[in-house]
Amino acid sequence: MGINQIATNRRVWTAKELREYGYSKRTIARSVKVGAWFRILRGVYSTDPPSGRVVWEAVKLLRPYALLDGKSAMEAYNEEELSLPLRVRVDTSNLLRASRDVVVAKRSTRMRAERVGDYRLVTAVDAVVTCLEDGEIERWKLREFVEVQYGSKRGLAKLRKDLRKLKTSRQAGVKGLLEMCVVGTDSSLERKLVGQLRQAGFATRQNVSVGGYSWDVEVVGVGLIDVDSRKYHRAQDRNFIVDRWKNNQAVAMGYVALRVTDECVDFAMREIVKLLRQVQDYRKHNPRKPVKVEGVAPVYQWHNSLLSVDNAPI
């Protein structure tokens, strides 16, 4: 049987399989020498030259429970072509034998698999830890990856769950990077707000629950913030009612509850930060008293969206 015939369903074969198809060791070696076949791993061959996908198929033949790790796992999560060398995790000390330009394997007893298509891979945050250890991906790219993978409303809970699966040392290794990430929101507006609040020195948490209601951002030790799209909230009568009672509940529980719009985040971050600093300073000196601060000037005197309409009290 010719190699083209057995190639209909497969891209890679072990030397043992090829011998069962009638190919001798000499024939295999000669085919590799003339470039008809390619040696992918020790004892694994292909008619295709090494690529991320071909190497992954070869790895699965020898280590069915292997996981993509590090930058290879990131590529799979991002639905990108796998690049070489492939980074994999295996559960045996008998590591894969191949050039480090083709595959780099590390042994681990932690082999819980996520699935993306037909790939088996480590969790997103586990892949990031490996990348930090390898030092081959820039930190800003890792931060963007984390924010995408854990960016939904359920992202924070997913991140905590994935972190619990890591060794304590690996959790510590990624802590600094995670503190710079904005997770738990798929809103670019909220990410922008949180990013600027952190730059101003505030500690934040996203998607916190207070009194049975979810708030977009908690500025730790200062207050709660919701970011409203005016178009969305005008169209949602139910949300209009819920939001009022959400504010009522937070105030009754002693929180400073702030609401800003998308345009406030775009044009009035200075005023947002100023107000938060006043609240923060007051709480520092009067931790047991209700908050009472000067605030900022009436909004119709300074808000970009209102100045062009009317400059009179509302």
Residue 118, domain member (yes or no): no
| Statement: residue 10 has pLDDT above 70 | yes
- Would the pLDDT of 93 be above 90? no
Helix (H) or strand (E) holding 122, with range, is none
> Distance (Å, rounded) from C-alpha 248 to C-alpha 254?
10
Please check whether residue 152 lies inside any domain of the structure: yes
In a domain? residue 42: no
Q: Is residue 106 part of a domain?
A: no
Tokens 């057995």 belong to residue: 6
Cβ pair 89, 103 in contact under 8 A:
no
Task: Tell me, yes or no, whether 182 and 195 share the same domain.
Answer: no
Structural domain total, the chain:
2
Average pLDDT of the residues in 100-129: 93
Same domain as 230, residue 295: yes
Q: What is the pLDDT of residue 314?
A: 45
**pLDDT (tens digit per residue) in 212-262:** 888 999 999 999 999 887 655 555 567 777 888 888 898 888 899 999 988
Please report whether residue 20 resides in a domain.
no
* Cα(165)–Cα(168) distance, integer angstroms: 9
> What range defines the domain where residue 159 resides?
139-186
Is the model's pLDDT at 300 over the cut of 70?
A: no
Q: Are residues 180 and 219 in the same domain?
A: no
Pair 168, 204 in one domain: no
Instruction: Average the pLDDT over 133-139 and give the result.
Output: 93
Interhelix angle 124-134/70-77, rounded to 10 degrees, is 140
- Of 186, 214, 246, the position where a domain reaches its end is 186
Helical (H) or strand (E) element with 251: helix 237-252
Enclosing H/E stretch for 161: helix 155-164
More confident residue, 179 or 46: 46
Question: Do the domain assignments include residue 144?
Answer: yes
Q: Each residue of 258-277: pLDDT tens digit?
A: 999 888 999 999 999 999 99
pTM: 0.74
Q: What is the mean pLDDT of the chain?
A: 87
Taking the alpha carbons of 275, 280, 282, 287 in that order, is the dihedral positive or negative? positive
The pLDDT score that the predictor gives to residue 100 is 87
